[in-house]
Each structure stands twice: as C-alpha cells, then as structure tokens.
Amino acid sequence: VTIPNSVTSIGSHAFENSGLTSVTIPDSVTSIGDGVFSGSHSLNSIEASSGNTYYISENGVLFNKNKTALLAFPAGRGGHYTIPESVTSIVSYAFGGCSNLTSVTIPDSVTSIGNWAFVGCSALVSVTIPDSVTFIGDGSFAACRSLASVTIPDSITSIGIQTFYGCSSLTSVTIPDSVTSIGDRAFIFCRGLTSVTIPESVTSIGREAFRDCSSLTSVTIPDSVTSIGELAFSGTKLTEVTIPNPN
C-alpha cells in the first residue's frame, strides 16, 4: 500500500491483520494510533520517510522522532530483537501478533510497557523485565503461548487485567513483594502453572485471576488478602486452600 501525502492521521488498528509486506509513512502523517499494523504477519519493514518530523524508523522498526517510544515492530519479523537504549516506553500493541519473535531484550531505560504490548507473540520463550519498569499494562503478554519464564521486578505494584492470559507454557511465577493487587483474569488459562507464591503485600486477587490453571496444585494466600474475586481459582487442581484470618 502507498499512503498518499494527503494523509495526516492513521487510526488505531487501521491495517491490523493485513497482508502488507512493507509500508512507508509519508512526511504528512503526524498522528498514528495503537496497533496499526498488529498481526500483519507478512510485514517485515515499517519505514518513515526522511522528511517526517514526527516519526523515524530504524532497521524497519517504527519509533517517535526522538526514539523514546517504540511504536510498531513488524509482525513478520522473527528471532531476537534488542530494544534501543533510548526507548523509555513500549506503546500499546507495539509487538502485537509478532508470532515469530522468540526473544527480546528490554533495556534499563524502559519505564512502561503498554496495554497488549506483546499480545499474541506466540513464539516468545522468555522475557526479563528490568527494575526500571514501573508500569505493565493490561494484557501485555496475553496469548504468549511459549512463554516459559518471566521476571517481574520489584518496581511493579500491580499485575493488571489479563496480563498473562493464555500463557500456557508458564510453569511457575514469583510475584514480588511490591505487588498489592492481582487483576481480573491475570493468569487465566495458564494451564502449565503448577505453583504460585502470593506475597504478604497483596491485598486483592481479582475475578477469575487463576481460572482454568488446570495444573495448579498449591497456593498460599497470605493474611494481607482482603478480597478474592469470583471464580478466582475455578478449574484448578487445588486440593487444599487456607483462607486467611479476617482479623
């Protein structure tokens, strides 16, 4: 597709799941929404024209002009990718549907990972989130079916809605002492999850948080927890649960 110079804005998900193989953002574009190219599995390069004052591309990856925000990674690319150290934020859907991406290095410069940033990265095996990250958005790693290990840093205070939805290869997870809440459906359908340690800092476990984690056999709920949502542990193999003292 050739985007004409008359276009100034590209809306969210405009070319989602398309058959594009390459695209160039013209000089005229000043606004690009989230997930514009998410799930376009033939796309290997996203270029910004040299005269564009809002966007820049490097090795086919799209950034804002000063390269502090990673906006879109071409979903047709695979293997390993190292995010540049200038980047402070990974925006929503930036890696959406990158089904051939196996690993990614997130530098210490990154402070936020947007909603659904890595959704559908089904070949992603492991990810280390640096201590610099203070925000992980809803659904950030949803449907990452090959994700076997993840490091959640002490800088995170909440695990959002559907953050690890459908990460069926995830066998164990350690939630740091900084986390105070586990969101709705945070680990739903993590069918390989056998154990989870919930720290004393957590006060709430959301609705369906561990639903259909069909291999989950043990969990310790600390006294700090004051609310457990509906169906939070439905479909698990728990044989014994100790409910904390309400006092």
Query: What pLDDT does residue 212 have?
Result: 97
Q: Write the pLDDT tens digit of every residue in 197-247.
A: 899 999 999 999 999 999 999 888 899 999 999 999 999 999 878 777 766
- % residues pLDDT > 90 (the chain): 88
- Write the CB contacts of 74 (distance below 8 Å, at least 6 apart in sequence): 37, 40, 43, 44, 45, 46, 60, 61, 98
Query: What pLDDT does residue 129 have?
Result: 93
Average pLDDT, the chain: 95
Residues 81-90: contacts with CB under 8 Å, at least 24 apart: 81/105, 82/107, 83/107, 83/110, 84/58, 85/109, 87/63, 88/112, 89/113, 89/114, 90/114, 90/117
Rounded Cα distance between 51 and 65, Å, is 11
- HSE at residue 143, side-chain half, CA atoms within 13 A, is 14
Percentages of the chain per state (helix, strand, coil), in multiples of 5: 0, 25, 75
- Residue 146 in tokens: 């090959």
- Write the CB contacts of 58 (distance below 8 Å, at least 6 apart in sequence): 67, 84
pLDDT tier for residue 56 given thresholds of 50, 70 and 90: very high
- Write the CB contacts of 59 (distance below 8 Å, at least 6 apart in sequence): none
Mean pLDDT in residue range 82-94 = 98
C-alpha distance from residue 25 to each of 5, 9, 69 (Å): 9, 10, 16
- Residue 25 in tokens: 């953002």
Query: What pLDDT does residue 247 have?
Result: 60
Handedness of CA 15, 12, 71, 92 (dihedral sign): negative
Report the predicted TM-score, pTM, of the whole model to 2 decimal places: 0.94
